[in-house]
Structure 1
Amino acid sequence: MAGVLDTVNQRTRLVGENRLEILLFRLAGHQLFALNVFKIREVLQLPRLTQMPQRAPHVAGVIHLRGQTLPVIDLSGAIGMRPQQALPDSTIIITEYNRSVQAFLVGGVDRIMNLNWDSVQPPPRGAGRTHYLTAITRLDDQRLVEIIDVEKVLAEIVPFNAKVSEGLLDDELLNKARGREVLLVDDSPTGINQLRETLSQLDLKMHVATDGLRALRQLQAWADEDENISQRLLMVITDAEMPEMDGYRLTSEIRKDPRLKDLYVVLHTSLSGNFNKAMVEKVGCDGFLSKFQPDQLVEVVRERLKLLKE
């Protein structure tokens, strides 16, 4: 238990400090790619791979690991590169996204890199694989590292459902959401699309920022116009991982600003591991929600509306 707590403490020290750890790896070539360490359970040699008939594109097969059956995804092929062959000595990265666990087949792991989010930049537009990237950074100020938009990869394999369950929208309280404004903060187009598709069913007016720094500047600009931001915005829904400024630092900055401190902030993230409760409490979020749960997202809005009535 002490070891687990030490790990939680080590990770949560990064929260609110605009820092992250990424695991660097290669696919079918020399280019370096990365995933957030928060989302990685372990790295190991590929166990025995079982082929499946009619499997989804870019799924190499399944493995059985510690009582679980996990899909093995050819990450290289999934982002439009040359498909990678699954060999007995291949490396896989076991990850957890949106309450699901999967393995990514990779060419080889390089190292763990600790850095500031402000050194992570959005990918340049129109540069080929940027469709599957959320950000880029540099190793030793020279070698380019591409951070993959895993949400998009997974959504293409198993499309997300943004439709709210029948009958859930009949609640009279939700009628009070119509026309209210929310700020959505996410660097992933997949994440933004999911939010838009779900929240549009509540007739909410949505503003979008693609990273925490842009969101903070927008909030400050509204406050500079002498607006009561807490009354204007029903809530801020923010991702955790974003270039320039992450969602934890954004929440911390909101709480520091007397004009913004009363905003209702919900963390909406694919990080579904054991660290989230400690992270959310540390920075002062009002709520936490794993991504791609439309019914739960509507419930978050409902709980916020209940507070307005009290």
Structure 2
Amino acid sequence: MFNSDLRDSALLDSIDGRTRLVGSNRMELLLFSLGTEECFGINVFKVREVCCTPFITRTPNMPHGMEGLISLRGNVIPVLSLNTVLGLGAGQGLGSTMMVTEYSKHTLGFLVHGVDRIVRVDWDKVHAPDNLAAGTGTSSFITAITQLDDGRLVSILDVETILANTFGDAVVGNIVPVDNGHEVNVFFVDDSAVARRKIVEVLDRLGVRHKHAQNGLEAWNRLEGIASHATLIGRRVADEIDVILVDAEMPEMDGYVLTRNIKGDARFDGVPVVMHSSLSSEANRAMGRHVGVDAYVAKFDADVLAETLRPLLQRAVQA
């Protein structure tokens, strides 16, 4: 069923076609197998290449799931066994195929049993796992589930949780609070529990008030409710929300469509939108600019996030 012969140019033949997905609420998934009956997927934008598993050098005191290090075109990168990380057991083996991924400014090798193909899916058909039947013990590492035309379910990996589980949470250092930050309101949306936890930590240290949603559709419904209420009582949305922080990849509605909806609604005039995404390439930044984001921040650097938000928050305090 799975074919491991997809390689560099055949896998990632053109970025242009994928950038045209912006605003269409669609994404592309690379399907892969871990030697079980389950089908897994990862956003193509996270995958740099696919190759046969190379020689791996083991090192002392490796985190759980890390098999060692490899040298790839002059760069030393860690290699993780997804079977081990997801708790599928050593009996499945390490996997004969390696996906080289770029995520949150990390380059990692993920060992899998084989890759299948790239499929295009609608975000509104991608659902949080809580909305569906529970899976097989891998659910804590699954951010969403979608269904293929042939009826198979695809579990989409939560790479943020995998990174945090393997290497530990990103450390949030000293962040200077915003003067009179208690007067400022931030609305943020992210489907990853790990990301939400770290964002809350940054916003709390900035001393600002905040509300959040867990996917793009929930965020848009809540924002529309806030806008309708503001209109009803004769206030501007900018009086209720000072900054909106959006993730790019989210079930139900992605951050690009959400941003386009916000920027296309005059009620949100004057409210800046910051995109906070693990997809940190220049192509993804260009996609964000295409839909009108005011700033783009790569996950997860607490200092960079805080300093990107700070001038926007200070401007709101002074308004």
Q: TM-score, normalised by structure 1?
A: 0.91
What is the aligned partner in structure 2 of residue 23 from structure 1? 30
Distance in 2 (CA, whole Å) between partners of 1:289 and 1:221 is 27
Provide structure 2 residue ranges, at least 5 long, that are not aligned to the other structure: 1-12
- SS for the counterpart of 1:194 is helix
Q: Alpha carbon RMSD of aligned pairs, Å?
A: 1.8
Unaligned runs of 5+ in 1: 1-5
The code of the aligned residue for 1:163 comes to V
Task: Tell me the distance in 1 between the aligned counterparts of 2:152 and 2:142.
Answer: 16
Q: Which amino acid aligns with 2:86?
A: I
What per-residue deviation string (whole Å, max 9, x for no partner) do you get for residues 95-129 of structure 1?
00111100000011011001111111111367242
The residue aligned with 1:51 is 58
| Inter-partner Cα distance in structure 1 for 2:262 and 2:117 | 34
CA contact (8 A) 1:251 1:283 kept: yes
Aligned to 1:254: 262
Number of the residue aligned with 1:3: none
* Corresponding position of 1:104: 110
Spell out the pairing of 1:1-310 with structure 2 (5 A cutoff). Answer: 7-83=14-90, 84-86=92-94, 90-124=96-130, 127=134, 128-165=137-174, 168-169=175-176, 174-225=178-229, 226=231, 227-308=235-316, 309=318
Q: Percent identity?
A: 40
Q: Which moved more, 1:195-204 or 1:240-249?
A: 195-204
Question: How many Å apart are 1:261 and its aligned residue?
Answer: 3.8
How many Å separate the matches in 2 of 1:268 and 1:80? 29
Separation in structure 2 between the aligned mates of residue 19 and residue 245 of structure 1, nearest angstrom: 9
Q: Report if aligned partners of 2:179, 2:314 keep a CA contact under 8 Å in 1.
A: no
Q: For residue 300 of structure 1, report the CA deviation from its aligned partner.
A: 1.5
Deviation of the 1:80 alpha carbon: 2.1
Q: Residues 162-185 of structure 1: CA distance to partner in whole angstroms, max 9, x if unpaired?
A: 4233xx516xxx113224211110
**Aligned counterparts of 1:99 and 1:194: Cα–Cα separation in 2:** 16
Measure, in 2, the Cα distance between the counterparts of 1:210 and 1:141.
28
TM-score (norm 2): 0.89
Structure 2 letter corresponding to 1:303: P
Could you say which residue in structure 1 is the equivalent of 2:9?
A: none
Asked whether the equivalents of residues 184 and 313 of structure 2 are also in contact (C-alpha less than 8 Å), the reply is no
Q: Residue deviations 1:47-80, cap 9 Å, x none?
A: 1111111111100111111001111101121122
Identify the range of structure 1 (208-217 vs 226-235) with the bigger mean alpha-carbon deviation: 226-235
Residues 71-90 of structure 1: CA distance to partner in whole angstroms, max 9, x if unpaired? 11011211222235336xx1
**Residue 128 of structure 2 aligns to a residue in which SS?**
coil
